[in-house]
Structure 1
Amino acid sequence: MRWSTGWYGRQLACWRPRQGRLLADLAMWQCGWPAGQVRTATGRNVSLAVIGDCGADDEHLDSGLAAVTNQDWPSLTKWPGSYLVVARTGATLAVIGDLSTQHPVYWCSAESGLWWSTSAIALASMKSLPVDRVSLAARLACAQPEVLGSRSLFEGVHRVPSGHLLLVNPDRASTIRYEPSKYPVHSVQDAASKVRVSLEDAVDARLDGRPVSADLAGLDSTTLVCLAARRNPVHAVTFANRRLRDDDEYYATRTARAVGSVRHTLVEGGPSAVYYHACCIDLESLPLTDAPHAYVVTASIKRAVLGAVAVPGGVHFTGSAGDGVLATGSAYLADLVRTRRYGLALRHMLGHARLRSRSPWRVLRQHWPAAHGDLRRAWHACARDLRSPPRPWEPQAARPVSWTPLLATADWMGRRARADLADAFDEAAEGLTDSPPSLADWSDRQHLVDIAGDIAGWRELALHDHGVELAAPFLDNGVIRACLTVPAEQRGSPDQYKRLLTNAFSGAEIVPDFVLNRHTKGGFDGVSYGGLVSHAEGLRRLLGSSSCLADLGLLTPGHVTDTLGRAVTGLPLAAGALHLVTAAEVWLRQLDTAQSWWERMPHAAPAG
């Protein structure tokens, strides 16, 4: 697993990561990163490092030293790409992750200083710190990674929230917000050119001579293929399993014919290319990741796809996360009601009702409670619900919209776990000092952090199995900033599919018009259902009474049995909840076989 770590303290470091490469000016180590993705600049009493895919050239990095001296931290996050920043001026150290936390930052205190790292597991292993059961319960219960603020998945390891940096000096360590909680507002038309440029820069930052492969399916991934093909041959791949019932294959094949420099491969995948195959049949082959992630469920599919096109040392583009910045869920309807924009709210509710074949009044009823609440009240409401008996299952889409919706996984937990999580929600609500400005802003940013955690898991799979770097440009800082300046009601408008991307590339002669005019989206329901049926027995064993989750009180196995029974009989079921608990169970089992992360220092490292 790739990771970075560093020491700040009054005494010399006693430990170092195994097989780590020391960057002495910053008292930090790089583990598993290729030399080309670790770049530094130094000056008089000032140092800077960027780790990852960063589009800054040497001149940009040298000019960044002035920003470090002036402690102008936000300017260091505005280069294209996805990267970690570590900067030092005098006795002040700043560690800055990206907005989506693809490069997360954690820290823990030591007797004479502080360790920081991009790996929570590594920090926890130093002191043999246990899993934070309540924090893991929160992840399972609502899939919003930041509901418990700075708590990580391990007791004693602190997490730096998205949009914040870790600032350390001799007096204290603190997390400082570097990103505004709300962006300036721009219309789709005004933001379109900036969105296009930010995506062009994001793709170009990865085109550095490495072989390029890419997913070619929906509108988002197709856009990235077209951008990469301007400058580089691209080997594009489409998963075309017979269980899929969509038109991705048609559009992908047509795009490959229309765009130069694109070689196209269709992958059927075979009988193992279904959900749950790897975690039920070949769990030991899955690489260790720093947190649970959804791609353990689809690992066999990703392996089939990457195996057809990936070249060791290459870069593979995915359009994943495009939905998170180019569109939005319907939660913004509650914001329209709360801010008394009733005419616009009515028009949008009518549009969403038509799309989902529902009554407009039902849409209104679902959004009405959230329109008259805020995040603090929502967390107190979660606590009350958790102290009540578990709810009968119904599809999540049928439940009222909430700032923090409790998923079916919350109802699968034991009484003690629910009570402890309720206490944590109440505590978080009382300690909330930075309330988000709107439901849509909060939901969108949590969704991006959740996606980034999943993609981090996929990235480890790609590196472990194929030696290829996974690139998700829609999660780059510049792309997020450009897209989220457009209000949610414009990005989520029901009358035009992904109008922001369409406006950004219309007339640019980069993405074919027939792609931009597409209004359909593929789905994996058939592949998911096939995996549930064929691996039902394996899931019962994985998630049974002897599971790690059951031992922690986070899963009552009878719920899994009921869910699998519904799958076999073709009834609606809590598929998302099953994905979550499967990913968490696999992760907990992997922790028992985790590597040895640290070794004693044979000589001293630079002091803080």
Structure 2
Amino acid sequence: MGALPATDTPNAYVVTASIKRAVLDTIVARQAHGVHFTGAAGDAVLSAPSAYLSDLLRDRQYRSAYQHAHAHARLRNTSAAVLLRRAWPASRTGLCAAWRQLAADLRRQPRTWVPQAERPTAWTPLLATADWMSADVRGRLAKALEAAADEAGDTSTHLAPWADRQDLARVGAGTTGLRELARASHGVDIAAPFLDNEVIRACLAVPADQRGAPGRYKPLLGEAFSGTGVVPDFVLSRVTKGGFNALSYGGLIRYAPVLRDLLGPSSRLAAAGLVTEAPITGMLRRAAAGQPTAQGALHLAVATEVWMRQMAAAPAWWEVSPRVAAA
């Protein structure tokens, strides 16, 4: 942890620091200093999550909803009916009503874990981390959600624009942490063109059902760069993207004892009631057996635990610069 720079919030790149360092090592080997261009936020602005199906249903565009669901289902080896059933609840409610329902759910017993992709589409999905919290913390989160709903009013009526904003905020915060890691360990600057304000405005001006059209992979990228020579043809012709699932499972299996200790009874998260031991142990046991696992939730928990330990070892404070805040 001492080799990682402290950031102002928990950062997801802490968990994948070794992978990022391998990339940065390659950059430095080719040139002592420089700028590394990252594709962070490319998924958020060049495509769209299938959550836009809820908006098509909300707007009673049933024919388009079925056509898109059918195409997405072929890619996911499922059925259009399954995807439309997942999309339907979010099409019948707004953001604030969804938050109030989440508050009610948090006051009940934690759910039995199923993969997030099998749960209904939601305005604010509850990850497995919500089910790992103590009853007291779940109650406090429920009150916070109700207060936020009372304050916000029903300002958001369509799911896709809301989801786009949340994805960009999350990716932007993560990229800030990656920038700190790259500067501290390698003296390399990180540039994220897809987080440029003008790029975001131009891409999000295209409706989600066109950006997320399942028949073409990131159609905006092809329309913008086909024939220019700026982006290699093999990138433009891709129909999917690589993943790190095998690597992630290998790490979970190899370091399960370390993770059990990190997130166990002596962890900062446990002391705050943000995790409890039994579900963490059960999830790591699933990973060791090669079963489906809440990888995203474990990722966030590890990143937050490391961050809390950093703060305890080297307390820091932050001041908001009016100039930076305005930017």
Is the TM value for this pair above 0.5? yes
Counterpart residue number, 1:378: 98
Alpha-carbon distance change, 534 to 397 in structure 1, aligned in 2, over 3 angstroms: same
Q: Is the 8 A contact 2:137 2:273 kept in 1?
A: yes
TM-aligned CA distance change 1:454 to 1:597, over 3 Å:
closer
Residues 193-232 of structure 1: CA deviation (Å, up to 9, x unaligned): xxxxxxxxxxxxxxxxxxxxxxxxxxxxxxxxxxxxxxxx
Find out whether 1:290 has 2:11 as its counterpart. no
Change (3 A) 1:286 1:512: closer
Equivalent in the alignment of 1:352: 72
In structure 2, the residue corresponding to 1:444 is in which secondary structure?
helix
1:285 is paired with a residue whose SS is coil
In 2, Cα distance between the equivalents of 1:520 and 1:545?
Answer: 40
Q: CA offsets per residue over residues 309-345 of structure 1, 9 Å max, x none?
A: 1355421111121001001111100000101111111
Cα distance change, pair 417–453 in 1 and its aligned pair in 2 (3 A):
same
CA distance in 2, matches of 1:568, 1:595: 35
1:41 equivalent in structure 2: none
Three-state SS of the structure 2 residue aligned to 1:290 is: coil
Give 1:301 shift: 1.1
C-alpha distance in 2 between matches for 1:511 and 1:432: 42
Instruction: Please report the TM-score for the alignment, with normalisation by the length of structure 2.
Output: 0.93
Contact 2:123–2:163 under 8 Å retained in 1: yes
Distance 2:228 2:36 in 1: 24
Question: Corresponding residue for 2:55?
Answer: 335
* Aligned twin of 1:54: none
In structure 1, the gaps of 5 or more residues are: 1-282, 599-608
Corresponding residue to 1:299 among 17, 31, 34: 17
Question: How many angstroms does 1:507 deviate by?
Answer: 2.5
What is the correspondence of 1:155-170 to structure 2 with a 5 Å cutoff? none
Report matched runs for 1:362-441 at 5 Å: 362-433=82-153, 435-441=155-161
Q: Given the superposition, is the C-alpha separation of residues 429 and 596 from structure 1 closer, same or farther in structure 2, using an over 3 Å criterion?
A: closer
Runs of 4+ aligned structure 1 residues displaced above 2 Å come to: 310-313, 507-515, 593-598
Q: Which moved more, 1:589-598 or 1:524-533?
A: 589-598
TM-score, length of structure 1 as denominator length: 0.51
Aligned match for 1:505, one of 218, 225, 229: 225
- The aligned length equals 316
Give the fraction of aligned pairs with identical amino acids, expressed as a percent: 56
- Residue in structure 1 matched with residue 40 of structure 2 by the alignment: 320
After superposition, give the CA deviation of every residue in 1:543-591 in whole Å (9 maximum; x if it has no partner): 0001000000010022111111111111111111100100110111111
Deviation at 1:286, TM superposition (A): 1.1
SS at match of 1:316: strand
- What is the aligned counterpart of 2:270 among 538, 550, 555? 550
Q: Deviations over 1:229-283 (max 9, x none)?
A: xxxxxxxxxxxxxxxxxxxxxxxxxxxxxxxxxxxxxxxxxxxxxxxxxxxxxx2
- Which one has more relative contact order, counting CA pairs under 8 Å at least 6 apart? 2
Select the residue among 474, 499, 504 that pairs with 2:194: 474
Q: Of Structure 1 and Structure 2, which has the larger fraction of its residues in strand?
A: 1
Contact 2:95 2:157 in 1 (8 A): no
Mark the CA change 1:429 to 1:597 in structure 2 (over 3 Å): closer, same or farther: closer
How far apart are 1:468 and its partner, in Å?
Answer: 1.1
| Equivalent AA in structure 2 for residue 303 of structure 1 | R
Alignment correspondent of 1:461: 181
Would you say 1:491 and 2:219 are equivalent positions?
A: no
Match of 2:243 among 520, 523, 536: 523
Offset, 1:437: 4.0
After superposition, the Cα gap between the structure-2 partners of 1:509 and 1:316, relative to the gap in structure 1 and judged at 3 Å, is closer
2:285 aligned to which of 549, 557, 565: 565
Is the partner of 1:511 in helix, strand or coil?
Answer: coil
Asked whether the 8 Å contact 2:38–2:190 carries over to 1, the reply is yes
1:506/1:562 CA distance change after superposition, 3 Å: same
Q: Mapping of 1:1-400 within 5 angstroms?
A: 283-310=1-28, 311=31, 313-400=33-120
Query: Which of structures 1 and 2 has the bigger CA Rg?
Result: 1
Letter in 2 for 1:390: P
